[in-house]
Amino acid sequence: MKKWMVRSLLLTLILVILGGTFLTASMADKVEIELFYYKQEIVKQMGDMATAFCRKNPDISLKLTLIPNDSMTVLRTRMAGGDAPDIIQLQAYSAVFEFAQAGWLVDLTNEPVLSKVIEGAKTSVTYKGRAYALPMDLAGIGI
């Protein structure tokens, strides 16, 4: 169940981000989208998702970039240097605030997919009243 949810949320994120990307691209041009992630335990699922997505969208190729160690340092360096991946997985929801404040994230507030996110989860991806990410999971910690 958890693997299915991770896959479906990531696929939804990809579709939301890609929604407006191809309006300017020629249908004859193949577009490459880079998806930057850090969870090495989902490598197979990411590969399966990318294969299924590209099969349905032959004009799009997904480049999966796995950085399992120190990914936030690598990502911050790339973002600051103007070499931002198209889609990113952040390790902590606090990074959403940092990246949104820096202007590195796209405002997703008006995207229809957000209506499927439970209200309690939206807070973790909202900065100054605007949603900048899709929550991937929720966890409860307690004794």
Tokens of 130: 């605007």
Q: Where in the chain is the domain with CATH 3.40.190.10?
A: 1-10+31-89
| Cα–Cα distance, 18 to 40 (Å, whole number) | 24
Question: pLDDT band at residue 80, thresholds of 50, 70 and 90?
Answer: very high
pLDDT tens-digit map of 25-58: 455 689 999 999 999 999 999 999 999 999 999 9
- Cα four-point dihedral sign 7, 8, 10, 15: positive
Q: pTM to 2 decimals? A: 0.74
The two three-digit tokens of residue 36, written as one number: 């930057």
The CA-to-CA distance between both ends of the chain, in Å, stands at 24
1-10+31-89 CATH: 3.40.190.10
